Structure 1
């Protein structure tokens, strides 16, 4: 917490000094209402007419962080195991989901915020794909093309009891879930990711995290049987060998682990998606689905602010995804973030007009309920995975020529 406060003091500027006095001064005064450094001095803090609008959420975020470090037993983090076959899971909201999944009783709003932050990534995926999804044609979040794509995936995730492969004694093929631009979600512990596998007990899942910031655990140090103190050169050789071994399968730094008795495979690829698209193919809309958590399509490019990230860094990847005809579901951390991404989709060359909407942009039922405070400006606070939407490459139906067209 102190380190975060120091980073805010280094990055954030006093809003009153900038707006009322024309001075660019870093924050230094710690607000007595919320505990965050918010202004250059106590005088500037008192001059701020808008402080009352944002200090309550800053205080809530501060208290949540202190509660996590208080040393109390966090019973809300006792995650349940497999779902009994005869008990259905409801995805109406966090409360109903936690109850039907058999979580310990969540008695406070703070405990629910903790759980929602921990589980927002796997349960967002599960809530979109599951047959009991809260996104339906009836509430107009799911569109007809979305139903077509999800029916294909659900045919794999919820196979009939007497399926051909099962009758032949063959193991089911895993459904691959690609998470693009992976960051924090790739570092989640295995027992948290297993909550996704528990929702689909009939089929093995393969989670593939792809991104320059994807988490890859450090290789375990190797010990020589001939020397108790390895030389620096041997340590360097071991690291190089480990890196080479991790790159041998996909051609990029990678790590794969198998969890949950083989029903969940987790792979991390530290690279851009375009680097491994051809290696991961071919793709099947029945077996493959893509997710991107807060991809930032609509943010300006760092090198060319006149263009969006979708037109530069994401362009090749999104065009490749649309060609696969597999579903792509994305999230955003606020209404403005989602609006930026949607506008970018409608303006990008080679992407605009080349996709069908599957899920309309709107609230994510399983977004995090915990405020995340921006270090560059404490007034800015967002909620992870606030909203969700989905698209797929446009399908062009081939029809036979009519007799009158042939005669003409």
Structure 2
């Protein structure tokens, strides 16, 4: 932080354009040259000012986030403390399918899924930081979802989600391991996770928790993005691009027979133009964008070519955001670029399964956010066509 973050005191000159109304760069109207942070707050332990004088004179504004910064600092130290982490031990499949899960909030879900009791707030924050990714998806797609027509899901959204839920919750077919129990299996449900970053490197036990919530189907997770294998080259060296594997996909199998994971270090529009995943089926496919930055000035140009292709598939697209402003900015950009060719599947709002742990931007000590704070969804507009049966009564009499 001392190398990258600048002092937020208003007497300094701005170092960049402000990205939101809450950005501290808005306050910088002075003539002093920018200075890196050096003075460490004695309460939160984070360097937040270039000097003690600036820290004291701007203490009132720092006090608004001081407690949160201290919590972030303690959580980071907790991960490196060497203690045992029972909150990272995950349960297997439900003992019986009749034992329904309760997806109203974190507490009811962890209890009904038979997680080990988490009685400490810090342990809860550590656990939810990982589980927020699969459970944010499940909370929208599950038949027991807390979101409904009364709570943020639109009429068009119910049509799309009903198609997916029809596949995710199939009726019992009497299948078994004997010859008499052989049944044809449906194709796996494909979840396209675009712009994948941290979510692609999550422990696979975390993603398998998604499959445990839908025990009668299989999943194919497809991570797509130029950063989807960042810092993982030693674990999975990128394979050469061959005629059999033209985009160098990394395929992981052996995940309990319920999940397959493919990773593409490329842009989605490149794969889409090559018809890599066509055809798309609203009963089996769904797109997920975790913190995509659709409307962010630094990344919106990367999505300008991808958005029309996403709308063309008519498949639901679930998006999350770091903050309410981040989410609303993405939504406004999509509405502007789609030019009326989109339907809202789920209205924007706070995610019930957001990460309870806060994160700090190392380049800005005042920028605090949490993973998947908000969630919303959209898809390409669908037009219903009726059969034309001729003109009115006068035309029929003429004939």
CA distances 1:332-389 after superposition (whole Å, capped 9, x unpaired):
01000011011111211xx121011110000111111111111121111001100111
Find the residue that maps to 1:404 and give its secondary structure.
coil
Answer whether contact 1:374 1:380 (CA < 8 A) is retained. yes
Higher helix share: 1
Find the residue that maps to 2:240 and give its secondary structure.
helix
2:69 corresponds to: 58
1:288 corresponds to: 285
2:240 corresponds to: 244
Alpha-carbon distance change, 103 to 15 in structure 1, aligned in 2, over 3 angstroms: same
Alpha-carbon distance change, 259 to 200 in structure 1, aligned in 2, over 3 angstroms: farther
Q: How far apart in 2 are the matches of 1:15 and 1:186?
A: 33
1:114 corresponds to: 126
Answer whether contact 1:250 1:276 (CA < 8 A) is retained. no
Q: CA deviation at 1:168?
A: 6.4
Q: How many residues in Structure 1 have an aligned counterpart in Structure 2?
A: 370
**Residue in structure 2 matching 1:365, options 330, 352, 368:** 352
Q: CA deviation at 1:67?
A: 1.3
2:312 corresponds to: 323
1:383 corresponds to: 370
Alpha-carbon distance change, 167 to 404 in structure 1, aligned in 2, over 3 angstroms: farther
The reply to whether residue 199 of structure 1 matches residue 199 of structure 2 is no
1:9 corresponds to: 2
Answer whether contact 2:349 2:376 (CA < 8 A) is retained. yes
The reply to whether residue 272 of structure 1 matches residue 259 of structure 2 is no
CA distances 1:287-338 after superposition (whole Å, capped 9, x unpaired):
1110001111111146xxxxxx1xx321222211111111111000100001
Q: How far apart in 2 are the matches of 1:51 and 1:20?
A: 18
Answer whether contact 2:239 2:250 (CA < 8 A) is retained. no
**Residue in structure 2 matching 1:76, options 82, 87, 96:** 87
Answer whether contact 2:173 2:183 (CA < 8 A) is retained. no
Q: CA deviation at 1:253?
A: 2.8
Answer whether contact 1:258 1:265 (CA < 8 A) is retained. yes
Q: How far apart in 1 are the matches of 2:182 and 2:115?
A: 37
Q: How far apart in 2 are the matches of 1:11 and 1:218?
A: 26
Structure 1 moving runs of 4+ over 4 Å: 247-250
* Long gaps (5+) in structure 1: 1-7, 222-238, 303-308
Answer whether contact 2:239 2:248 (CA < 8 A) is retained. yes
Answer whether contact 2:335 2:342 (CA < 8 A) is retained. no
What is the TM-score of this pair, normalised by structure 2?
0.88
Q: How far apart in 1 are the matches of 2:55 and 2:245?
A: 54
1:397 corresponds to: 384
Q: CA deviation at 1:162?
A: 3.1
Q: CA deviation at 1:21?
A: 5.2
CA distances 1:60-91 after superposition (whole Å, capped 9, x unpaired):
10011111211221111111111121211111
**Residue in structure 2 matching 1:256, options 251, 270, 277:** 251
**Residue in structure 1 matching 2:202, options 182, 188, 200:** 188
Root-mean-square deviation (Å): 2.2
Structure 2 counterparts to residues 101-180 of structure 1, below 5 A:
101-139=113-151, 141-162=152-173, 169-180=183-194
Q: How far apart in 2 are the matches of 1:75 and 1:270?
A: 33
* Long gaps (5+) in structure 2: 13-27
Answer whether contact 1:250 1:279 (CA < 8 A) is retained. no
1:232 corresponds to: none
Q: CA deviation at 1:218?
A: 3.3
Structure 2 counterparts to residues 29-40 of structure 1, below 5 A:
29-40=39-50
1:233 corresponds to: none
Answer whether contact 1:190 1:259 (CA < 8 A) is retained. no
Answer whether contact 1:179 1:290 (CA < 8 A) is retained. yes
